[in-house]
Structure 1
Amino acid sequence: MPAANSGSAASQTVHVPLGDRSYDISIGTGNLVDVGRWVTSLRSVTHAVVISDANVAKHYQQRVEEAIAAEGVRVTSLVVPAGEPSKSVSTAQSLWEAALADRVDRKSVVVALGGGVVGDLAGFIAATMTRGLDFFQIPTSLLAQVDSSVGGKVGINLPSAKNIVGAFWQPKGVLIDTAVLETLPRREYLSGLAEVVKYGVTLDAEFFSYLEANVQPMLDRDPAVLQKIVARSCELKAQVVAEDETETTGLRAILNYGHTYCHALETVAGYGEYLHGEAVSVGMLCASRLGEKLGVFDAESTQRQFKLLSALELPVATPKLDERAILSVMQRDKKVEHGKLRFIVPHRIGKVVLTPDVPSDLAMDAWREGCEA
């Protein structure tokens, strides 16, 4: 696989059409070398705050800093501990104070260099510092490349709820270099594949079939397959975000397939016990079984998901946790409306529906049955 510091290969561009908030996603292999010119081509910049985590920083922080500085930009580097616990009020406060100490002003920009945690956190800092700074996403995990770096959702966690404090704050651009995935630990890489599967189930049956046919190349991180699955995932997400940027129509909620169960699992098990994609894998199967119980989905399609997720070495069994705690967290989910549980439920591969008034006993039955997987 090409090294992340090699000359840039031919890139694909996915456009996110949002009026005056529109931006492009540049997807390539080896294109991280162009980051300085990329940032300054999109905006006049004199000061950039680069936020990363300890794991990513040791591979790419200096390279990104030097490339941006070479364009005559003053760079402030801020590094947070790796992992979900960094998406916290205390970490946000430390970043606000550090940025202020290095003379951030309303013309500064934020560059998020890292996975989903860094993207969410750095984006939240950008949305809130001086009432809003422009920011750029450079996602370095597969999960962030195909999902969290696109669409403008930024935020932090509270101890009792994930992503409950946040904003919609679109980046000025997203630069994706699939070659950086070679330094991603295997567990984190596999975790990202769950979000790729999600796009197939929710929006594109043909893409789901492609994934079923390309399990081994995905496990091997084949460059051509990686670029294809990243680009297609970004295209699908861009289409949804363009139609429902701030989740006012309910369409964007379909991207949260499996996430009601997922967030409950992450919260009750303790942030960091499951990687996000691992919890998504478990959650999608719970939602699939719920679709069966509601009579809108078939067991064969649930089995197809089970087989694909298993082949991609993702967890498929529901852990034995306090069911009352699981239900309590689900009742605080952002999709709850007037106190009623709502779930994203599959109707067929390629189509899911936001379903209101789901009885809690059915929801928990779907959870419970996963313990036997």
Structure 2
Amino acid sequence: MRRVEVGGDQPYTVSVGAGLLGQVRVPQRHVALIHPADLPPTFVEAVQAALSPTVTVSVPPRDECKTLAVYADVLSRLAAANLPRDGAVVGLGGGAATDLAGFVAASYLRGVAFYTLPTTLLGMVDAAVGGKTGVNLPEGKNLVGAFHPPGAVWCDVETLATLPPAVFREGAAEAYKHGLIADPSLLARVLSPEFRPGGTGLEDTLADAIRVKAEVVTRDPTERGERAFLNFGHTLAHALEAHTHHAVSHGEAVAYGMHYAARLSRAMGGADLTGHALAFLRWQQPTLFPDLTFHDLWPYMARDKKADAEGVRFVLLRDLGQPYLGRVPEEVLRREFAAWQTDLLPVR
């Protein structure tokens, strides 16, 4: 088993290994377990056996759970069960479910303890680490939320064996992104045949990808500076998700977004990293790319949370491992969008 430490004012440990669902222990006596409805029952039963939760709440799968309506319903379920102030919320499932569970924990009784057990690659590498919690609005993704770090994270790699291959490849986008912005050794390792459920490279590569995010959020827990670099590729990705009502999945949207960001980086004087982005897209084999225009997506990009009073900012790369926040002229955004769509024709 590997352990990754997340520091700061509220430090915690991310454990990566096999068989962890049944080994979970928390100090709180009263626990609310939140999980998506489509999670394998054996996962839920293992955690229930380990924690004996006061209440178990099933929520809609994927981003269908990240709505204000579902959020309010979960809060009501916890109140009806009399979950006390010294209780805890445990999020079990993919990144959407753990985002929701964390926001519930952050706001129920003005904040209770929170723990997370991600069961997808995307959830392990990204959503479960860093304390960002929240839900979506029709106007955009993750526009409502709070910073609420977990007390601990357990990544049971055995759960990844239940994922369809396309879902596993989707989750690899965030690990590959960490290679682009911080640790170039991850690029080849993520594309290696050994990075797969049961593969010899899975646990170590996963832990090293998590470590990239852990180190960044330790230095910048509330995104006042470099934590924004973790959003490389996400400005376009979140726009794709919002405009298509999540018909384009997060991991595939990030893969598309990384290639667009690579093109923008090159246009603004950075190294040409488009080959790396295209290599990942060919490996990922995304399932859907809607025929959209720049005009379709620009309103969502303009509401991106990295925007400030002067407008939209993009995470760009000077070279591998050298990210920065920059503004891109609109004519460049439009020109590169058209070229980006042309680049993707052989991939689609």
Q: Which residue of 2 aligns with 1:217?
A: 194
Q: TM-score, normalised by structure 1?
A: 0.88
Post-superposition offset of 1:186: 2.2
Aligned-partner residue type, residue 42 of structure 2: H
Equivalent residue in structure 1 for 2:283, among 311, 326, 334: 311
Q: Which residue of 1 aligns with 2:128?
A: 149
Q: Which residue of 1 aligns with 2:16?
A: 27
Equivalent residue in structure 1 for 2:107, among 128, 148, 151: 128
Q: TM-score, normalised by structure 2?
A: 0.95
Q: Is 1:53–1:79's contact at 8 Å kept on the other side of the alignment? A: yes
Give every structure 1 segment of 4 or more consecutive aligned residues whose post-TM-superposition deviation is greater than 4 Å.
none
CA RMSD of the aligned region, Å?
1.5
Post-superposition offset of 1:204: 0.9
Aligned-partner residue type, residue 324 of structure 2: V
Are 2:7 and 1:14 aligned? no
1:22-101 matches, cutoff 5 A? 22-35=11-24, 38-39=25-26, 43=27, 45-69=28-52, 74-101=53-80
Q: Which residue of 2 aligns with 1:331?
A: 302
Whole-angstrom distance in 1 between the partners of 2:144 and 2:331:
29
Whole-angstrom distance in 2 between the partners of 1:361 and 1:319:
23
- What is the aligned residue count? 343
Whole-angstrom distance in 2 between the partners of 1:210 and 1:163:
30
1:226-305 matches, cutoff 5 A? 226-248=202-224, 250-271=225-246, 273-298=247-272, 301-305=273-277
Equivalent residue in structure 2 for 1:110, among 83, 89, 92: 89
Post-superposition offset of 1:188: 1.6
Unpaired runs of 5+ residues, structure 2, are none
Unpaired runs of 5+ residues, structure 1, are 1-10
1:176-206 CA-to-partner distances (Å, cap 9, x unmatched) read 1101101122222111011110000010122
Whole-angstrom distance in 2 between the partners of 1:227 and 1:234:
11
Post-superposition offset of 1:339: 3.8
- Among all aligned residue pairs of Structure 1 and Structure 2, give the percentage whose two residues are the same amino acid: 34
Aligned-partner residue type, residue 150 of structure 1: V
SS of equivalent residue, structure 2 residue 194: helix
1:27-48 CA-to-partner distances (Å, cap 9, x unmatched) read 111222211xx32xxx3x1110
Aligned-partner residue type, residue 16 of structure 1: V
Whole-angstrom distance in 1 between the partners of 2:269 and 2:248:
30
Q: Which residue of 1 aligns with 2:170?
A: 191
Aligned-partner residue type, residue 33 of structure 2: V
1:122-157 CA-to-partner distances (Å, cap 9, x unmatched) read 000000000001010100000011111000000000
Bigger shift: residues 54-63 or 108-117: 54-63
SS of equivalent residue, structure 1 residue 18: coil
SS of equivalent residue, structure 2 residue 58: strand
Aligned-partner residue type, residue 217 of structure 1: E
Q: Which residue of 2 aligns with 1:347?
A: 318
Higher helix proportion (structure 1 or 2): 1
Aligned-partner residue type, residue 255 of structure 2: S
Q: Which residue of 1 aligns with 2:146?
A: 167
